[in-house]
A and B are shown apart, each in its own frame.
Chain A
Amino acid sequence: MFVQIENLQYQYKKASEPTIKDFSLEMEQGEIVCILGESGSGKSTILRLLAGLETPNKGTISINGKTIIDHHQFTEPEKRGVGMVFQDYALFPHMTVAKNVQYGLRKMTRRQKQNRLDEMLSLINLTDYKDRYPFELSGGQQQRVALARALAPAPSLLIFDEPFSNLDANLQVKIRDELRGILKQTGITSIFVTHDQEDAKALADRIVFIENGVVSRVGPPEEILGCASLLMWANS
């Protein structure tokens, strides 16, 4: 298995019970998994644990045969090779689009960096925008730059935290399809977190439905979504 997460548990310092109780997941290379759940279900925490921004109480994670966290070790976020697209994009406001995308490129010659930048910009169709600053871009464009920035260093796993929550509804549909195209084209393994079933349906190969910190169902979209809607309906 390309990504292996086992028995992950995490509790915030002041919380009375763990946010993540027992989370396990296995992923094939190139697979797109969507973690679906209501707000407060702990789905974003899973991403933060994967990226190394939080430390779990228990559990192991390994990516591409390399253990990044278990009893003995904790790999710092910068050494994990996990790319992340943030909910608010977190584009560096003091850098141009080009500088943002090139930020994570290291140990490359200037020429290689330039090539990679061109490649990324044409992938997201923003070649003409490379000298703009983030505040000069629309929400959808910012989102694509954030994607390009995360993709540029060729991470082994790419994770997205609520990627469409800041976009207009009609833009959301367009970008969703575009995004799936780009991800499949690059063949990158990715995990999404969302509360929107439509997002999950349009993007995912497989959906993990999470409730109160535990996985309640896993399976392909068409199989899960019927149940998930039912569950949500029942809970509301």
Chain B
Amino acid sequence: MRLIQQTKKQLNIWAILSLLFVSIILIPNFLIGIQLFTEPNENWQHIKDYLLRNYIYNTLVIVTFTGMATTIIGVSLAWFITMYKFPLRNFLKWGLILPLAIPPYIGAYAYHGLLNYTGVIQTTLRNMYDISVNQSYFNIMTLQGATFIFTIFLFPYVYTITKSFLQNQSSSIVENAKLLGDNSFKTFFRVIIPISRAAIVGSVTLVVLEVLNDYGVVSYFGIQTFSTAIFRTWYGMKDLDSALKLAGTLMFLVIFILVIEKLIRGRKRYSYSTSKVRPIEPKQLIGMKKWFVFSYCFGIFTIAFIVPFLQLIKWALLTYEKIISEQFLTLIYNSVLVASVAASLIVLISLIIANYTRLHQGRFTKAFSKVTTLGYSIPGAAIAIAVISIFMILDGYIASLSAVFHFDPVFVLRTSLVMLVSAYIIRFLAIGYNSIESGFEKVGNSFTEASRTLGYSTVKTFFKVDIPMLKGAIFSGFILVFVDILKELPLTMFLQPFNFSTLATQAFKYANDERVHEAALASIIIILISGICIFLFHKVLDKESS
């Protein structure tokens, strides 16, 4: 009896739509998984014998060193900002998030332009001091250079997550450690690092996933990694099967990293039994210490934001007259268009799946919510190649249908924006979903239940009660996704239709064509929009938590 009732209760519009969306996310993953076990062709043999080892080596070197460097920088900054008062602390607290607004590929060509033979540093040295430097010291297009770029533009992930974790810790922990005889240095290693382990590991994992996702930096620097290899195999050799196999191998790497994350994150969850926690009050630093901490924090802000941003502004001033044209406005329009369409769809899909999993809690729905967050761990190049092959299959169907019914197959999905937007949804659904899900958690179920006992169905309740109450979560979910899509490069590079460019792809194209000055204006627009959104988002978040 319960089974019939349960089925009747479960089988509704929410379940059907959720199932549909979840399958859209799962299908490309299955495709990649299946392709791994198909008969390899000649190209794959070649890749496997001669190139794969190099891809894995490069990828692992960059991932490992970026992971370590972002941990050191991110955690130390979070510790200084939380624990101490020093000049410009309040400004730096926000400022240190800003490097996140600069996509690493933009940072990469800004720094390359700065450091190369014609860059401002070398020309100044040559012209003013008559010093010629050894070029190899200034060559950033190396594995070390890529690690540097990723580190300075991705450390804010570690910094923000660790900082907000530390801010919620009780000051009594630190005070106790001190009373028990530890100095600040010892407290940091014996208490702070262990309790923040889960936060640190989680945030470094985000950094690593971003590095694996990257296409722009490694491609610009000419470093062979999975992303560049997938791109070349598809565009250069037109070999979809091998590209899918590369994507599958890359996914193995991702799974490997996620397993490691689980292992070192540890089982322990530290939380407080009392709701009143006295937050850590920052301590005024004096003398040398004050200036040391200030220089460290401000130095990183300078390297990670001020320097590249000023460089871009200088280039933009040189070229803006030439750049601003109708074509450039179209770029802005395109970027905003695809980002807002995809972000709206993502918010809508997130609302539907989150509402379903919330109303019907069980093992099945739990799996649903896990699947929606899957896409974010899969690098863009892998998603792109999977989506391409699915749309080729779909186009095949359309073509055969047109043959049967004798119509002209004008509607080719593969060359339309549908493909790009679908890929965005698969990759960024997790971001929208997390925001909406935590919104639902905060609101709780009783309002919905009240509405139902007052005679409204789940659908009507959704519009009359749930949506108005989730306004904040919907807004922040939309903003986060919007910014990410605006900055996004690999998916857009792979999947943009012919004659369609965005700010990001055009900037990258200029930089790649040695027209780096012309890339500046588009880059600045991306940075400004992202910067404003990131700032607003964290401001709101900070307000809410206090």
Considering the chains assembled together, what is the distance between the CA atoms of A93 and B457 in angstroms?
A: 19
Residues of B within 8 A of A73 (CB): 5
B186 at the interface (CB under 8 A from A): no
Tell me, yes or no, whether A117 is within 8 Å of chain B by CB.
Answer: no
Produce 1/0 per residue, A77-90, CB < 8 A to B.
11110111011101
Residues of A within 8 A of B465 (CB): 92
Chain B nearest CB, measured from A135 CB (Å): 13
The answer to whether A150 touches B446, judged by C-beta atoms less than 8 angstroms apart, is: no
For the complex, give the distance between the alpha carbons of A150 and B455 in Å. Answer: 10
Q: Within residues 63 to 77 of chain A, which ones have a CB less than 8 A from any CB in chain B?
A: 69, 71-74, 76-77
With contacts A55-B2, A55-B6 known, is A83 near B447, CB below 8 A? no
Which one of A55, A69, A74, A77 contacts B449 once the chains associate, using CB atoms below 8 Å?
A77
Residues on the B chain within 8 Å of A51, using CB: 449, 453
- Majority DSSP secondary structure for residues of B touching A: helix
For residue A96, give the distance in angstroms from its CB to the closest CB of chain B.
13
- Secondary structure dominating the interface of A: loop
A84 touches B453 (CB 8 A): yes
User: Is the CB–CB distance between A153 and B8 below 8 Å?
Assistant: no
Judged by a CB distance under 8 angstroms, whether A53 is at the interface is yes
> In the complex, which residues of chain A have a beta carbon less than 8 angstroms from the beta carbon of B452?
52-53, 76-78
Number of B residues contacting the other chain (C-beta, 8 Å)?
Answer: 24
A52: which B residues are within 8 A, CB to CB? 452-453
Selected from A13, A80, A82, A92, the residue in CB contact (under 8 A) with B447 is A92
Residue-wise interface mask of B (18-39) relative to A, using a CB-CB cutoff of 8 A (1 in contact, 0 not): 0000000000000000000000
A149 to B464 alpha-carbon distance, docked (Å): 16
Residues of A within 8 A of B362 (CB): 13
Q: Let me know if B457 and A78 touch, CB within 8 A.
A: yes
Contact B2 A57 (CB under 8 A): yes
In the bound complex, CA of A150 to CA of B446 (Å): 14
Residues A94 and B468 in contact in the complex (CB < 8 Å), given A55-B9, A74-B5, A74-B8? yes
- Alpha-carbon distance between A18 and B451 when the two chains are bound, in angstroms: 28
| A72–B5 CA distance with the chains assembled, in angstroms | 8
Cα-based distance from A167 to B451 in the complex (angstroms): 23
Q: Inside 8 A of B449's CB, which chain A residues have their CB?
A: 51, 53, 77, 84, 86, 90
Q: How far is the CB of A167 from chain B (nearest CB, A)?
A: 17
Cβ contact of A94, chosen from B446, B454, B469, cutoff 8 A: B469
- A74: chain B residues at CB < 8 Å are 5, 8-9
How many A residues, CB 8 Å from partner?
A: 34
A71 near B450: Cβ-Cβ < 8 Å: no
Question: Within the complex, which residue of A56, A71, A72, A103 is in contact with B454, where a contact is CB–CB below 8 Å?
Answer: A103
Name A82's contact: one of B8, B453, B457 (CB within 8 Å): B453
- Considering the complex, give the chain A residue whose CB is closest to the CB of B363: A13
Chain A residues near B446 (CB, 8 Å)? 86-88, 90
Is the pair B454, A153 in contact by a Cβ cutoff of 8 Å?
A: yes
Q: Which residues on the A side are within 8 Å of B2 (C-beta)?
A: 55-58
CB distance from A160 to the nearest CB of B (A): 12
Q: Does B333 contact A (CB under 8 A)?
A: no
Please indicate the chain B residues that have their CB under 8 angstroms from the CB of A56 in the complex.
2
B1 at interface (Cβ–Cβ under 8 A)?
yes
Contacts of B454 in A (CB 8 A): 78, 83, 103-104, 149-150, 153
Check if A78 sits within 8 Å of B455, measured CB to CB: yes
Give min CB distance, B450 to chain A, whole Å: 4
A77 touches B9 (CB 8 A): no
Tell whether A106 is near chain B: CB-to-CB under 8 Å: yes
In the bound complex, do residue A93 and residue B469 qualify as a contact, i.e. CB atoms below 8 Å apart? yes
Chain B residues near A57 (CB-CB < 8 A): 2
Question: Are B5 and A86 in contact, CB atoms less than 8 angstroms apart?
Answer: no
Of chain A, the residue at the smallest CB distance from B449 is A53
Given contacts A57-B2, A90-B446, A90-B447, whether A150 and B453 have CB atoms under 8 Å apart is yes
B456 interfacial contact with A, CB 8 Å:
yes
Q: Measured between alpha carbons, how far is A71 from B3 in the docked complex, in Å?
A: 10
Q: By the criterion CB–CB under 8 Å, are B455 and A104 in contact?
A: yes
Chain B residues with CB under 8 Å of A76's CB are 9, 452, 457
B9 contacts A153, CB within 8 Å?
A: no
Q: Which residue of B lies closest to A82 (CB)?
A: B453
Q: How far is the CB of A156 from chain B (nearest CB, A)?
A: 12
Give a binary string over B177-202; 1 marks a CB under 8 Å from any A CB, 0 the rest.
00000000000000000000000000
Q: Is the CB of B447 within 8 A of A55?
A: no
In the bound complex, residues from chain B placing their C-beta under 8 Å from that of A90 are 446-447, 449-450
Q: Closest residue of chain B to A152, judged by CB?
A: B454
Residue of B nearest to A10 (CB): B2
Could you tell me the distance in whole angstroms from the C-beta of A24 to the nearest C-beta in chain B? 17
Per-position binary interface string of chain B over residues 62-103, scored 1 when its CB falls under 8 Å from any chain A CB and 0 otherwise: 000000000000000000000000000000000000000000
A selection of 5 A-B contacts at a CB cut-off of 8 Å is A52-B453, A76-B9, A92-B447, A149-B450, A149-B454
Nearest 10 CB-CB pairings of A with B: A104-B454, A90-B446, A90-B450, A77-B452, A74-B5, A84-B453, A94-B468, A71-B1, A78-B455, A78-B452
A interface vs B, CB < 8 Å? 13, 51-53, 55-58, 69, 71-74, 76-80, 82-84, 86-88, 90, 92-94, 103-104, 106, 149-150, 153
* Residues of chain B at the chain A interface (Cβ within 8 Å): 1-2, 4-6, 8-9, 361-362, 446-447, 449-457, 464-465, 468-469
